[in-house]
Amino acid sequence: MALYGAAAAVLRELERGRGGVKSLVYNSGFPHVRQLYALVSETLRYSPVLEKLLDGAALLQAEKKLPPQLAKVLVYDLLFGKGLKCGGRWKALARRHRARLQAELARLKVQHRVSRNEDLLAPAASPAASQVPRYVRVNTLKTCVDDVVDFFKRQGYSYLGKAASVEELRALSGKKFLLDLHLPELLVFPPQTDFHDNVLYTSGHIILQDKASCLPAFLLSPAPGSHVIDACAAPGNKTSHLAAILQNKGQIFAFDVDTKRLATMNTMLMRAGVTAFQLAQQDFLTVDPTDPKYRKVTHILLDPSCSGSGMVTRLPQEEAAPSAERLRALAGFQRKALSHALSFPALQRLVYSTCSLHQEENEAVVEAVLRDHGSAFRLVNTFPSWPCRGLAAFPGAKSCLRASPATTLTQGFFVAVLERHRDRDAASSSVPAAAENPQSTEGTEPGAAPKKRKRKKQKVKE
């Protein structure tokens, strides 16, 4: 049962837009991640077929206590997988319906004029998705880029130096890797490279994080010693990136509502050597901005739940468009959370990000909130050389960043940087002077990186 239950839980989290398949599987706590990943991936691949079978056999009506995600996993394994090797009472339940389900499958094949199960499947995910490289963020709390480069060289990889263009990243193949052209601590390997079992990953020296998902902390870039809120933090990749930028100096207040994701996050932060953080299971909307505890909070990273429609390396079923009602609900929460974040009295700089492609969750949220807070905050024209900009939903929306497999070779993503109107000399962030000119529509180039800081090094043993 453990395997089927874990797979059903991953499917449920996916539907709620709480991450991609890989991250949810690896953060599930299930001991046999490969087995779980295979089952979840295959169930997703067959999902449209499974839905038809469940409908046709009226399984969910007959078994009211059977959660739909678990039903999909069981029926997948029964008809297309290994034939329910485990599963206890659920196995018995599914087997009771086997004849009916097999009859439905036969009917479906006749209807589609196919003889093989695979021929019932829709065409594969977009080719762009399979071209997204494997990005590896070097965790500078534990090591440095040079040591990690040496490590991979010793493992037989050839290091090609710093990439000059996205095309170079696209051309990567075999055992070769590059330093990213935009982010200073990001290494780039060919797509499908898997480092989940690599000692650098299991010891927290590297973080497997898509390039687009590294943008929020990089662009927030609080100076060491700052107090920072990570409002919707789990499973914590961006929190650990923030901690690395802060060099563990200062304080990160991280919130999330999901107990399981927080537990995973705690383990991940420990593994990554993050010390300066307080983790709370709390709805960010209920965090009191006037609490003296937060009086020094100058930076907020807000990466709220979203439709996840930009996560293109997910499988086809996950790309299904969210309903208008779900989008409205998500955008409502995102607007409230952004407004709430802007009410922290000492806030200077905020990054709002989503892995959604929908304007409703992105430019529209920023526009609506700036309508109320525009006298205090402005949208910063950040990272002008970044090729993919916000949709022209309102004047100035091009100051926002977008990311996509086609343009930036990343997951689909959206980032907006807001800054309090202020005297620039009073800035406490290390980025603005180098990264952008908030008042200019042209902006200035980041010089790709925040100020060089001394990094604590720790040699990595193979």
Is residue 249 within 8 Å of 274, Cβ to Cβ? no
When binding is defined by CB under 6 A, the residue of 151, 284, 352, 383 that contacts ligand SAM is 284
Rounded to the nearest 10 degrees, what angle do helices 98-112 and 88-96 cross at?
60
Dihedrals phi, psi of 276, to nearest 5 degrees: -85, 65
When binding is defined by CB under 6 A, the residue of 119, 194, 283, 288 that contacts ligand SAM is 283
Residues in 161-200 that interact with ligand SAM by CB under 6 A: none
Residue 154 Cβ vs ligand SAM, minimum distance, rounded to whole Å: 30
When binding is defined by CB under 6 A, the residue of 285, 368, 391, 434 that contacts ligand SAM is 285
60 touches ligand SAM by CB under 6 A: no
When binding is defined by CB under 6 A, the residue of 304, 310, 405, 432 that contacts ligand SAM is 304
Residue 219 Cβ vs ligand SAM, minimum distance, rounded to whole Å: 14
Nearer to ligand SAM, 305 or 430 (CB): 305
Nearer to ligand SAM, 228 or 234 (CB): 234
Enter the tokens of residue 44.
Answer: 């997703």
Residue 238 Cβ vs ligand SAM, minimum distance, rounded to whole Å: 4
280 touches ligand SAM by CB under 6 A: no
305 touches ligand SAM by CB under 6 A: yes
258 touches ligand SAM by CB under 6 A: yes
Residue 58 Cβ vs ligand SAM, minimum distance, rounded to whole Å: 33
Helix (H, G, I), strand (E, B) or coil at 403: strand
Is the four-CA dihedral 363, 367, 370, 372 of positive or negative sign? Answer: negative
Nearer to ligand SAM, 54 or 214 (CB): 214
Enter the tokens of residue 279.
Answer: 């983790």
When binding is defined by CB under 6 A, the residue of 77, 303, 367, 419 that contacts ligand SAM is 303
Is residue 246 within 8 Å of 225, Cβ to Cβ? yes
Enter the tokens of residue 173.
Answer: 């193949």
When binding is defined by CB under 6 A, the residue of 14, 18, 84, 228 that contacts ligand SAM is 18
380 touches ligand SAM by CB under 6 A: no
Give the CA angle between residues 261, 266, 272 to the nearest 5°. Answer: 120
Is the four-CA dihedral 51, 55, 58, 60 of positive or negative sign? Answer: positive
Cβ-Cβ contacts under 8 Å for 63 (sequence gap 6 or more): 71, 93, 97
Residue 311 Cβ vs ligand SAM, minimum distance, rounded to whole Å: 10
Q: Which residue is nearest to ligand SAM (CB)?
A: 232
Strand 349-354, strand 413-420: pairing: antiparallel
DSSP-assigned letter for residue 272: T
222 touches ligand SAM by CB under 6 A: no
* 400 part of the active site: no
Is residue 384 within 8 Å of 401, Cβ to Cβ? no
Helices (runs of H) and strands (runs of E) counted in the chain: 18, 13
Query: Which residue in the list 144, 232, 355, 400 is annotated as catalytic?
Result: 355
In angstroms, the CA 180 to CA 295 distance is 36
Nearer to ligand SAM, 4 or 284 (CB): 284
438 touches ligand SAM by CB under 6 A: no
90 touches ligand SAM by CB under 6 A: no
Q: Which helix (H) or strand (E) holds 418?
A: strand 413-420
Distance linking the first and last C-alpha atoms of the chain:
36
When binding is defined by CB under 6 A, the residue of 45, 182, 238, 402 that contacts ligand SAM is 238
Residue 226 Cβ vs ligand SAM, minimum distance, rounded to whole Å: 18
362 touches ligand SAM by CB under 6 A: no
226 touches ligand SAM by CB under 6 A: no
When binding is defined by CB under 6 A, the residue of 101, 232, 341, 350 that contacts ligand SAM is 232
Residue by residue, DSSP assigns 87-120 as -HHHHHHHHHTHHHHHHHHHHHHHHHT-SSGGGG
Dihedrals phi, psi of 436, to nearest 5 degrees: -165, 160
In angstroms, the CA 462 to CA 460 distance is 7
When binding is defined by CB under 6 A, the residue of 140, 226, 237, 410 that contacts ligand SAM is 237
Active site residues: 355
Binding site for ligand SAM (CB under 6 A): 18, 232-238, 255-258, 261, 283-285, 303-305
